[in-house]
Structures are given as C-alpha cells and as structure tokens.
Structure 1
C-alpha cells in the first residue's frame, strides 16, 4: 500500500517474471513444504503443552535418574526444530533453488539488457 511518504514502486521485469509459470511453480513448491511442516511442528508443540497441562501424571513419570517424560518431550522440541531445518535445506536445494536461480538469472539478464550502455532505464 502506498502512502505520501512511500510511493508504490513497480518493477516491470519483476512483474513479468512473477507472471511466469515457473514463478507460480516456485511458490507452490515452497508452500508444499512450509504449510505441512508448520502444521506438524505446531501440532507437536501443542501436544507438549496440552500433555503438560492435562496429563501431569504421565509427564512426571520418571524414565531414569532425574529424567522424566516432560524433559524428554522438551528436548525433542529442539530435535524436531533442527530436523525440520535440515529437511527444509535438502528440499530447498533439490526443488526450490534451481527454479529460483533460473528466475534470478532471467531477472539479471533482463535488468542488464535494460540498463546496457547507451540505453536509458525505464
């Protein structure tokens, strides 16, 4: 949204690339990972909170020494966070980065062609 202090700016090259099927595919592939991963992680976190609130006997169950179920659940939150980050990195390298690189190269090429010596910027 524009304001008097910050007028809207449009980049015709970006607008052109955003209309391409590859850009739509990139957004689709991104959402295909992010939405389920977010739902799973938030569900897992909600389970931890709900179990801590309503199943305190289970969460206080001692597994060994001073280690109880709640502590293991809490530590597994860190493990799941790093696991999701690792999986996202692999997914991104395989599916997202090639498309993003292609689109960036097209953008750079069109930008270089638009601002080549002797041409005026639009």
Structure 2
C-alpha cells in the first residue's frame, strides 16, 4: 500500500466556487480498488462566508466610487447608442422610402447608398474606438481599484485561506 504524504483527503476543502463536486473522484481509487466517493463540500461555513461576501459586494455596489463608474459608463453608452441607432434607422428608412435619392451617383458608379453603407461600417469602427478610449481614460482605473478593494475585503472575510 502506498503512503500518501499530502494532507488528509477527508480534511481537504475546495473553496473554488467553480469546482464541480460531481467531477471529483472520476478515475480515482480510494486505496481498496473501488472508486473514491464524491464528498460535497461542507455547507455551514461556506454559506456564512458567502453571506458575508455578498454583503461586501452590496456595500461596494452602494459606494460612491462604484456609482461614479456606472454613471460615467451610462453617460457615454446611452447617447452613443441613441445616435448610432438613429443613424442606422435613418439609413434603412431612406433606403426604403427614397430609392431615387439613394441611387443618385456621387462619383462614377458610386452612389449615395454605397457611401451611406460604407459610412455605417466607418461609424461602427469609430464608435468602438471611442468606447475603448473612453473606458481606458475615464473608467478602467476606477474599476480596477474597486475590483482590488473588493478582492481584499473578500480575502479578509475568508481569513486569508486562499
């Protein structure tokens, strides 16, 4: 029989919330040749810790820093989405209601519809660039600070076990 130098398997705890308890024991033997039983994690301490962690997340969500990040996000996204949607609907409505206008040549075989259609692609790329720039300059640092603070608080609740 082999000696196992690691911690006692009955005392090992899995704190990872993504851990799939049903997957443990696949192909593992318990020393007698039989498959190892699947042991679900203890519920008592994890539920208490989860409740305290949930309180931390609610506290962070209510904080002024979090509200400022959300406010900056909304101040950019809502107007940008409204402008882009208006531009897209105007293009579609004009294409269906004024085909003669859309067929008007601009330069050679290029007509108004082609220019407006390419403008749709261009504005998509410009909006993506503007969103990334806005996020980088106005929100990312504050969001990372919030994430760092939240992780520190949840580690303190867990007792530094991770």
TM range, smaller chain? 0.7 to 0.9
Say if 2:110 is the partner of 1:67.
yes
Residue 3 of structure 1 aligns with which residue?
Answer: none
TM-aligned CA distance change 1:117 to 1:40, over 3 Å: closer
- Please, which of 138, 141, 146 is the counterpart of residue 98 of structure 1? 141
CA distance in 2, matches of 1:25, 1:64: 48
SS in 1 for 2:148: helix
Root mean square deviation of aligned Cα: 1.5
TM-aligned CA distance change 1:51 to 1:117, over 3 Å: closer
TM, length-normalised to structure 2 = 0.64
Cα-to-partner distance string for 1:53-101 (whole Å, 9 max, x where unaligned) = 1221111011123211101101110100010000011100011101101
**More RCO (CA 8 Å, sep 6+):** 1
- Please, which of 3, 13, 20 is the counterpart of residue 56 of structure 2? 13
SS in 2 for 1:81: helix
Bigger CA radius of gyration: 2
Q: CA deviation at 1:26?
A: 0.9
Paired residues, number: 110
Say if 2:58 is the partner of 1:24.
no
Query: Which moves more between the two structures, 84-93 or 55-64?
Result: 55-64
Higher helix share: 1
Structure 1: stretches of 5+ with no match in the other structure: 1-8
TM, length-normalised to structure 1 = 0.84
